[in-house]
Structure 1
């Protein structure tokens, strides 16, 4: 066996294993996050080996990837200047997520059949979350015997209230894609069935009782109506049914009503004194003190308890006066853009925003040019993921990063595939 034949054989086997890991990744995200993280790492390393074997380096030098490398470099430098050895190693390891996205785009999801397998896996993961949420609502406990959380949120297949964020991410490419296709048919029965399914999905998000995922899904429905004209009336009717469900919450799920409605308006009315307001002001004070490079990986968590960051921006002084210093401290600032700013400063934030804009531009162009319904669903998901006015989990924890970068990579791979062969015309 020649060296070239050996390298080709290695590439083929690595690609098969990587595809299997990618297809099962949604299930690992739900149960087995350590396996999910190792899967992402394996795919990233396999792609770099492919680039080495095939001398395929050009894809790493154009498009969004240089922005990702720049952001990663800023995080590493900032961690060296401000953090511990552990923080530096964690910062270096962040590169796997960006390489993972590039691997999906350029190498792994290079056919419609492979993307269909991933789509089916995402759908099954979404169905599993929904089934567990309704089991918990109707029977009082989920499959493992866990009741709904103390604040009223349905936890689905989890112990803690974590069903909302992954279901919101799965919602459009994994679940909404089916009723969207149904309402595009001419038969009235199919249209009504599609409307019923859309309404059920939105009702489920409302019943879960997590504010930000529910708001983002409503936002996604709005984008869906704007982007896909042929389904606009049906999507608006489904949205109206979701609003009706909100009005009925005091009767059908009082705990969800207390958290989703009452606490939401209570926090908005006193936002600066709420935990979220305190977190955001603390993060902004950190950025004010370290505007160029931030505080490195995990910098917010490590330094938020220091009195140096309690005050900083004069306009916040009256809002913070008398507050416990611990009120603005937790493991992350609960906003993706503030997390990047505290981690990598304004320079890193600029690179991150530029990278996200390049992603969104490519996804939107593909959705409009190819009239591909799935591409539109992935674009809507990306808009939800990177909506700046949202309370979020930490971007660089595997629970969040696995979903975010999987969806981005899938969307970019589909856009790339559509560039060479137009996807089916579906009226987007």
Structure 2
């Protein structure tokens, strides 16, 4: 499907930047909204770590704040990009497919309202470049994100060593580490957060080591390797299969993008299976969960729970090829006998297999909005990745990396986190499900912020150091 004509149509509906300057009162209100939005943004990572309901409310504050500030300043330039136009197209089609009339929106009014509200998450992400327009603000948020990541790693380490986390919670019955939580949900978040934390740390240590001699140089090089290897080994000990596989995939992508880290990345990739093997002795339940259960599921995937859920999603998408069932299409359609079709003529598990979502963003897009929705979703994700990856590869990127290796490593870490989050062959939570969805859109906003800072540096000043 050629989306470019639709992109042009979407952009034509976006508000234009007015030529008349806003009044003094409007400017004061806009500055106040800017301050409130910034404070809300800085608190988002803290509440994504604990109290995700508050984090969702703060995301709404940031998104609404952007719209209000844009209206007061009569400036919607942030919405005039092709990237946002594709986002708007995907959302608009999802809303159309969710309208509970004329055979559309089979989930009813609740699904329609949820579809309308979905746009708040991308708007939140697009608000970050404007809020983080100074180096100090970017550094503050980066530090908070890093602190949250280190806190989760420390909780996992404490639980691994003592058997309990800081709140007294023991390992999950299947052997997984729960980190700071009661349920084993720390793995997916950590698999995203460790990249924008450990890659800049490792690069900084290697750059510093290059300026030293003798024992100091060797010691810093060892620390650089440890800053990558230890988080990877902790992901092994966490004992969650998909986060570990995505972590290894992310390491490979990072190694391709940062030549300086290739030896360290290779070491991490080699030690990951060693850690898995060692877990058979150190943590037998984790080994059972990582290896024994995983091998059994892969060997019998069509009849496994994940295989049946995936096939049910395919059946729902096939039966609603062009418009899907509307928002939450899998949840509302899964228990219906019309979709009880198995790969080998059985009922596919009936209603017993039904869960809230199909555990895959692309299957979710197809069940929600049909084939056009899937195409638009893929185009939107590709546009996001291309925007966040601007200036990370090629000759200009190499020249820029020499001037700002740590900043570029931070951007690569964000790109890798986004890339593995949307890797199509993976099991994950629903697209906007909290807290993982909140972390994704926060990292997306940081990636867009990095892209804007890079473009300003090479396009407006011709001096990369000026923007950093």
Same fold (TM over 0.5): yes
Matched, 1:112 2:135: yes
Contact 1:136/1:147 (CA < 8 Å) preserved in 2? yes
CA–CA distance in 2 between the matches of 1:3 and 1:342? 44
> Do residues 33 (structure 1) and 52 (structure 2) align?
yes
Task: Tell me what 1:417 maps to.
Answer: 453
- Relative to structure 1, is the Cα distance of residues 117 and 397 closer, same or farther in structure 2, using a 3 angstrom cutoff? same
Residues 84-137 of structure 1, C-alpha deviations (whole Å, 9 max, x = no match): 2221111111110111111113x1121222111111011110111111111111
Aligned residue for 2:386?
A: 361
CA distance change for structure 1 residues 134 and 424 in 2, over 3 Å: closer, same or farther? farther
Instruction: Give the structure 1 partner of residue 423 of structure 2.
Output: 387
Deviation at 1:363, TM superposition (A): 2.1
Distance 1:343 1:302 in 2: 10
Q: C-alpha separation between the residues in 2 aligned to 1:286 and 1:215? A: 28
Matched, 1:218 2:237: no
1:64 matched residue in structure 2: 83
Q: CA deviation at 1:249?
A: 1.0
Give the structure 2 partner of residue 19 of structure 1: 38
- Tell me, yes or no, if structure 1 residue 204 matches structure 2 residue 234: yes
Coordinate RMSD, CA, aligned: 1.7
Alignment match of 1:103 (pick from 127, 150, 157) = 127
Asked whether 1:43 is paired with 2:69, we answer no
1:192 pairs with 2:225? no
d(CA) in 2 for partners of 1:339, 1:7: 41
TM normalised by structure 1 equals 0.94
Q: Is the 8 A contact 1:279 1:329 kept in 2?
A: yes
Could you list the runs of 5+ residues in structure 1 that have no partner in the other structure?
Answer: none
Q: Is the 8 A contact 2:324 2:370 kept in 1?
A: yes
What is the CA distance between 1:397 and its match in structure 2? 1.5
* Aligned pair partner of 2:284 in 245, 248, 254: 254
CA distance in 1, matches of 2:464, 2:434: 34
Maintained 8 Å contact 1:282/1:328 = no
Q: Which moved more, 1:222-231 or 1:61-70?
A: 61-70
Distance 1:163 1:335 in 2: 18
Whether the 8 Å CA contact 1:275–1:327 is kept in 2: the answer is no
Check the 8 A contact 2:197/2:410 in 1, yes or no. Answer: no
Deviation per residue, 1:350-394 (Å, 9 max, x gap): 111111111111222222334322111111111111111010011
**Is the Cα contact below 8 Å between 1:278 and 1:327 reproduced in 2?**
no
- Is 1:321 the counterpart of 2:346? The answer is yes
Q: Secondary structure at the match of 2:137?
A: helix
Decide whether the 8 Å contact of 1:120 with 1:174 is kept in 2.
no
Following superposition, the deviation at residue 323 of structure 1 comes to 4.6
SS of corresponding position for 1:366: coil
The correspondence of residues 295-374 of structure 1 with structure 2, limited to 5 A, is: 295-311=325-341, 317-318=343-344, 321=346, 323-368=348-393, 369=397, 370-371=400-401, 372-374=408-410
**Of residues 154, 163, 175 in structure 2, which corresponds to 1:131?**
154
Question: 1:276 maps to what in 2?
Answer: 306
Contact 2:311–2:343 under 8 Å retained in 1:
no
How many Å apart are 1:322 and its aligned residue? 5.6
State the shift of 1:208 in Å: 0.2
Q: Answer yes or no: is the 8 Å Cα contact 2:336–2:351 preserved in 1.
A: no
Q: Which residue of 2 aligns with 1:73?
A: 92
Distance in 1 (CA, whole Å) between partners of 2:146 and 2:383 is 27
Q: Which moved more, 1:13-22 or 1:91-100?
A: 13-22
Structure 1 residue 3, shift from structure 2 partner: 7.5
- Matched-pair contact (CA < 8 Å) for 2:158–2:164: yes
Q: 1:68 and 1:404 mapped to 2: Cα distance?
A: 15
TM-score by length of 2: 0.86
Q: In structure 2, list runs of 5 or more residues that go unmatched.
A: 1-20, 211-216, 402-407
Shift of 1:271: 0.4
Deviation of 1:211 (Å): 0.6
Cα distance between partner residues in 1 of 2:139 and 2:273: 33
